[in-house]
Structure 1
Amino acid sequence: MKVTFFAHSTCMLKIHDKYLLIDPFFSENPVFRNTNFLKKFQNIDYILLTHAHYDHVCDVELFSRKFDNVLVISNYEISNYFGKKGIKTYGMNYGSFISFPFGKLKYIWATHSSVFNDGTYGGNPGGFLLHTDEGNLYISGDTSVMYEMSLIPYFGKLKLSILPIGGRYTMDIEEAILASDLLKSEKILGVHYDTFEDIRINKKQAKKRFFEKGKELILLEKEKTIYVK
């Protein structure tokens, strides 16, 4: 499994020949402003949305226009919102795993909020638990640490967890370390930091704190990739 980080919480997963874009945030992202980001993508099969805040959904319509067959997967309310705009969607909620060509996907709990910029309710915020033949991945979405995370290892061992670490709106470094303990996850890709002034972190110190706890915190530069094996 190939994981490419763009900025904020936006990542791309490549699982065999399928491309999954997570929480697309480019056009209003200061990191990508005034660049033609759409040219960077040759194919997208799925878009996974954790919740309705603009910094996670603002470019769904742009990508759906470029890639006609893209399927947006999110909670029931977000799927309905984009479905009314003519976008193909698949709605789900906290519940069972659902099988897709890339693997099994489960919409998982998050402690946060969820509303579109126009005030439309975005349903329950969440994350995704992804089980594939290339390994299991947890995408937490925006969340605080919560004890329900301790249930996730019962579904299967994680090879990688994608966790927010910027603080204020989500977990900070210390809470993400606690979350990794609950998840029994040793390798963490940090997201949702440094995009704005109020979520800036000391990256060197953050890596050191995870290392002291026997964990690996991965902080990728824009458009850099790791492989989950």
Structure 2
Amino acid sequence: MKITFFSHSTYILEIHDQCLLVDPFFSGNPVFINTNFLKFIKRVDYILLTHAHYDHVCDVELFASKFNNVLVISNYEISNYFSKKGIKTYGINYGSFISFPFGKLKYVWAAHSSVFNDGTYGGNPGGFLLHTDEGNLYISGDTSVMHEMSIIPAFGKLKLSILPIGGRYTMDIEEAIIASNFLKSEKILGVHYDTFVDIRIDKEKAKERFFKKGKELVLLEKGKTIYF
């Protein structure tokens, strides 16, 4: 499995020949000012959306127009919102695993909020538990630490957890460490930090805190890739 990180909570998962774009936030993102970000994206088959906040959904329509057969996967309310705009969607909710060509996907809990910029209700915020033949991945979405995370390992051992670490709107470093304990996860990809002033972190200190707990915190620069 390959992950290419762009910034904030936006990245592409490549599983075999399938490309999954998560929470696309390029337009209005200060990291991409005066940058032709589309040149970085050659293919998108699916878009996974954790919740309806602007910094997670603002470029769905752009990518749906660029890649005509893209399928948006999210909760019922978000899927319905984009379906009305003529975009192909697959609505799910907290429930069973659902099989897709890239693996099995389950929509899971997140402690956050979810509303579109126009005030439309965005349903329950969530994350994704992804099981593939290349390993299991947990995408928490924007969330605080919560005890429900301790249920996730019951479905299978995680190879990687993707957790927000910027604080204020989500978990901070210390809470993400607690979350990783609930998840029984030793390798964490940090997201949702440094995009704005109020979620800036000391990256070296963050890595050190995880290391002291016997864990690895991976922080990727814009456009960089990790294989796992």
Q: TM-score range by the shorter chain?
A: over 0.9
How far 1:142 moved relative to its partner?
0.1
2:59 is aligned to 59
Quote the residue 2:26 is aligned against.
26
Q: How far 1:217 sits from its partner (Å)?
A: 0.3
Quote the Cα distance in structure 2 between the aligned partners of 1:199 and 1:206. 13
Q: Output one character per residue of 1:112-171: Cα deviation in whole Å (capped at 9) or x when no partner.
A: 000000000000000000000000000000000000000000000000000000000000
| Runs of 4+ in structure 1 over 2 Å off | none
Aligned to 2:42: 42
**Structure 2 counterpart of 1:71:** 71
Taking the aligned partners of 1:43 and 1:26, their CA distance within structure 2 comes to 16
Percent of residue pairs identical: 84
Give the whole-Å Cα distance in 1 for the aligned partners of 2:141 and 2:118: 21
Aligned to 1:215: 215
Which residue of structure 1 lines up, in the alignment, with residue 84 of structure 2? 84
TM-superposed deviation, 1:183: 0.0
Task: Return the letter of the residue paired with 1:127.
Answer: G
How do 1:1-229 and structure 2 match up within 5 A? Answer: 1-228=1-228
Letter in 2 for 1:176: A
Deviation at 1:4, TM superposition (A): 0.8
5+ long unaligned stretches in structure 2? none
Q: Give me the whole-angstrom Cα distance separating, in 2, the residues matched to 1:89 and 1:74.
A: 8
Give the letter for the 1:134 counterpart: E
Distance 2:141 2:65 in 1: 25
Mapped partners of 2:33, 2:140: distance in 1: 26
Q: CA deviation at 1:87?
A: 0.2
Task: Report the alpha carbon displacement of residue 34 of structure 1 after superposing the two structures with TM.
Answer: 1.9
TM-score normalized with structure 1 length: 0.99
How far apart are the structure 2 equivalents of 1:19 and 1:73? 13
Distance 1:88 1:227 in 2: 29
Q: What's the RMSD between the two structures over aligned residues? A: 0.4
Q: State the aligned residue count.
A: 228
Unaligned runs of 5+ in 1: none
Distance in 2, Cα, partners of 1:177 & 1:219: 15
Q: 3-state SS of the aligned residue for 1:90? A: strand
**Cα displacement (A) at 1:38:** 1.3
d(CA) in 1 for partners of 2:19 and 2:223?
A: 15
User: SS where residue 26 of structure 1 aligns?
Assistant: coil
Residue 40 of structure 1 deviates from its aligned partner by 1.6
Which moves more between the two structures, 182-191 or 35-44? Answer: 35-44
